[in-house]
Amino acid sequence: MTFSALFMTRFTSGLLSFADPPPSALWVSLGLGYLAVGAAVAWRLARAGYSAGTSVSGFACWPLLLGLLHEPRAPEACGPGSSRISACMGSLRQTLAEPAAAGLAAREDVDALERALYLADRRVALADRMLEELSAAARGRVGVAPSDDINRGLEALRAARDHAIAELDAVLDAVLQLRIQVGLRTLAGGRLPVQERLQDLQARVAALAELSSLELACAS
């Protein structure tokens, strides 16, 4: 029996004993501590990108889910910028793993930024497929020119796609610049808000979907 299963068995039996005598202060403290750890694990699972069901289950079953916190979640790299995202984020991880850069950023913030970048890149890949399929369908109508609405829709989609690519490139440039600043900080000293900048970049990538949706809505 694993430690997690043994802990769950002992703790459950302890909870069932509440029905006999009044709970002691020790068991009350253990119960509150268990729930507090469960809340922390649920929050970490949500930040790591797990589903809502998995994250919520961390409240009651956190000893069984601790392994997920250390399990690498490989992103699906299928977009046009996946190779550059992998290179930029890999180099940033290597820099932050150096002893001189210890404590500058939390691993969760680096993971969150990487997931946001890959998600945005997959949206670009979807837009590329849609443009190719819709353009081919419009050209396939022999003897019938595409309507103005179709042309406007394709142009709006193409413009949103180009904007997304430009924004992703700008964020990746900022990631490389951040890596350079980390190197300068290790030499010259001083405080560098790496974690805050990672969170700002993540918010910038997340806002990209909203801006693209707004552009398409305005063009329709």
74 pLDDT band, cuts 50/70/90, is very low
Q: What pTM did the predictor assign? A: 0.60
Calpha distance 48→31 (Å, rounded)? 26
Q: What is the pLDDT of residue 9?
A: 55
Q: What is the pLDDT of residue 71?
A: 53
Residue 143 has pLDDT above 60, yes or no: no
Q: What is the pLDDT of residue 16?
A: 47
More confidently predicted of 58 and 17: 58
Residue 85's nearest CA partner among 118, 112, 55 is 118
Q: What is the pLDDT of residue 147?
A: 73
Residue 151's nearest CA partner among 220, 82, 202 is 220
More confidently predicted of 93 and 216: 93
Q: What is the pLDDT of residue 18?
A: 46
More confidently predicted of 143 and 81: 81
More confidently predicted of 217 and 202: 202
Q: Fill in the amino acid letter for 164.
A: A
Rounded to the nearest 10 degrees, how much is the dihedral formed by the CA atoms of 149, 153, 156, 158?
A: -130
Q: Fill in the amino acid letter for 85.
A: I
Q: What is the pLDDT of residue 66?
A: 66
More confidently predicted of 47 and 71: 47
| Residue carrying the six token digits 């945005």 | 120
Residue 118 tokens, joined: 């890959």
Average pLDDT over residues 67-78: 56
Q: What is the pLDDT of residue 219?
A: 47
More confidently predicted of 28 and 23: 28
Residue 19 has pLDDT above 50, yes or no: no
Contacts of 83 (CB under 8 A, 6+ apart): 77
